Amino acid sequence: MSATFSVKDVSLATRERADEIIDEVLKFVEAKRPEHLDLDLGQVHVISPSFASGLIDEIQWLLTRPGVGVKQVRIITTSPLVRGKINDALMRHMSHTSKPRSLSKVLVN
């Protein structure tokens, strides 16, 4: 089963906001129990590098947390700038993490 979580407000696109979003996503995941999660950033056009990095950190934690059941996360954005920052963060994390296989389950569209 797949489910979509739409991010309503990233006006404070900081690392702390990434933590808050994942807290919201976790509640959503616990209620829906999807194997495939779409994280829709909607019309957000600007994020900070720390937000992108924090988001990838938190998604990796979500994918490796026992009992959650999420096997894949797709980040959806209409902004090439946001997509680029998230992809940059993803590549940095893949080269610096002890569990790079978990990040292979993150797609950015």
pLDDT digits (tens, 9 = 90+) for 22-71: 788 888 888 888 889 898 887 677 778 888 888 888 888 888 888 878 88
Specify the 3-state DSSP secondary structure of 74.
Answer: strand
Using CB atoms within 10 A of its CB, is residue 98 exposed (0-12), middle (13-18) or buried (19+)?
exposed
Which pTM value belongs to this model?
Answer: 0.80
| Residue 13: pLDDT over 70 | no
Beta bridge partners of 74: 38, 107
Q: What per-residue confidence (pLDDT) applies to 36?
A: 92
Q: How far apart are CA 48 and CA 24, in angstroms?
A: 20
Q: What per-residue confidence (pLDDT) applies to 9?
A: 62
Share of the chain above pLDDT 90, in %: 6
Read off the DSSP letter of residue 34.
-
